[in-house]
Amino acid sequence: MDKSQMIRALECLDAKLDRPTRLVLGGGGALILAHGLPLVTHDLDAVPLDMELSELDRLIKQVSVELQIPGDWMNPYFSTFTHTLPADYKDRLAVAFQGQNLKVLALGKDEMLIMKCFAHRLKDVGHAKALIKKGARVEFVESHIEKLLEKRIPLAQEALDFLDELVDES
């Protein structure tokens, strides 16, 4: 999905909502819609704050039929690394989409960099470097990951190594 396809799908979802609903967006969708990276991604990683997953999943499927897009265009189960986020991450959410009822809030640059460090895939290198260029705070991210390492959070050492390699290459 590119930016225009994402917006079209979110507008369609917004039209189906009968009450205010907020989603927290991560992954490629956040990079594209909130942080201006020119990417394409398979789906939008978003978790609902005001709605049950089952209800959101039903609407996601309706949008996919209406727009003739894959049924998994939104992944509401992306929480793999959300346990690594700072407790105050909501203070840095950025509005990625605002409709009549739907408000999509994207993870901030710092949180996206943390998530990229924990995923530490080859495709994350370019995304992480772009986040740093756009203002993600390396010192904040490093300090946060070090705290997670002290708490023995799985993959924290790998995340820290990934960040160190990024900084060394810059």
Average pLDDT over the chain reads: 95
Residue 41 CB neighbour total at 10 angstroms: 18
Give the span between the Cα atoms of 76 and 25, in whole angstroms: 9
Write the pLDDT tens digit of every residue in 96-109. 999 999 999 999 99
Band (137; pLDDT cuts 50, 70, 90): very high
Please state at what angle helix 3-16 crosses helix 53-67, rounded to 10 degrees: 120
Instruction: Write down the pLDDT at residue 80.
Output: 67
Instruction: Count CA atoms closer than 13 A to 29's CA, side-chain side.
Output: 28
String of b and e for 67-94 (b: at least 16 CB within 10 Å)? eebeeebbbbebeebbebbbeebeebbb
Using the predicted structure, report yes or no on whether residue 18 has a pLDDT greater than 90.
yes
Q: What percentage of the chain exceeds 70 in pLDDT? A: 98
CB atoms within 10 A of CB 47: 19
Half-sphere exposure (Cβ direction) of 28: Cα atoms closer than 13 Å: 17
Question: What are the residue ranges spanned by the domains of the chain?
Answer: 3-107, 111-169
Which pLDDT value is given to residue 169? 85
d(Cα 82, Cα 49) in Å, to the nearest integer? Answer: 14
**pLDDT tens digit string along 24-65?**
999 999 999 999 999 999 999 999 999 998 899 999 999 999
Q: Give residue 147's identity as a one-letter amino acid code.
A: K
Q: pLDDT band at 81, cuts 50/70/90?
A: low
Identify the residue whose tokens are 């290459």: 169
Closest CA to 24 of 44, 1, 52, 54: 44
The pLDDT confidence band at residue 11, using thresholds 50, 70 and 90, is very high
Mean pLDDT of 136-159: 98
pLDDT of residue 77: 75
Give the pTM: 0.92
* Predicted pLDDT at 78: 72
**pLDDT of res. 159:** 98
Task: Please list, in sequence order, all residues whose beta carbon lies within 8 angstroms of the beta carbon of residue 92, skipping any fewer than 6 positions away.
Answer: 107, 108, 109, 110, 111
